[in-house]
Amino acid sequence: MTHLSISLSCQPGCVRDHNEDILLVCTETYRDKDATRELDIDETSALILAVADGLGGHNAGEVASEDAATELGSHITVLPRVLTPGELRQDMEQWLIDEHNYFIEQGTIHPERQGMGTTLAAVLCYRNSFYAINCGDSRLYIFHEGQLRQLSHDHSLYAQTHCKSHQHIITNCIGGGGTEAYMDFEDITECVHDGDKLM
């Protein structure tokens, strides 16, 4: 059995008047608050820890981030506990496609939601293995033996061109007006050791 100590803080910051980010622990979402949780996982577990960052400058970023987090938490609770890593990846990729298409549909039905979108960075704990999930430029790090290392890869124009004028342009997200979305899905079990911090 593996024990997880979770500490989280989700605040609006100093620039915007409302918070478009949301944090997810299992099925509980957190916005504009701090919290701690203690969880145990074993070979029968399936749980998710995630941050969804609603797209600022687009319509309904806070709606997009909350919907993605809520739907992801619900989806993980009903995952069969017999999936192979390949089947698990396929399942999560299909979830992402379905959520992306839902955002597009919502923009058609509700003009005030046109172009709404969110990034997503998550750690999926499934049957005693850890998987990193990334869609966009929210980042996942690991702190191991005094060293901080980025596990995720930014889906941004800057990551592709290294041109400073492209620093805030993302190339992939859930919704956001794009025609399709994809996720990085990586088994990070071998990277995670007792006492490590995932951020």
Q: What is the pLDDT of residues 10-54, one digit of tens each?
A: 877 656 667 789 999 999 999 988 999 999 999 999 999 999 998
**pLDDT by residue (tens digit) across 74-90?**
999 999 999 999 999 99
Instruction: Give the 3-state secondary structure of residue 74.
Output: helix
Q: Which two tokens stand for residue 158?
A: 């800057």
| Dist. CA 75–CA 167, nearest whole Å | 32
Stronger pLDDT, 91 or 107, i.e. the higher one: 91
**Nearest Cα to 128, choosing from 92, 96, 95, 81?**
81
* Interacting residues of 165 by C-beta distance below 8 A, sequence separation 6+: none
- Helix 85-109 crosses helix 61-77 at what angle (to 10 degrees)? 140
Say what the pTM is. 0.93
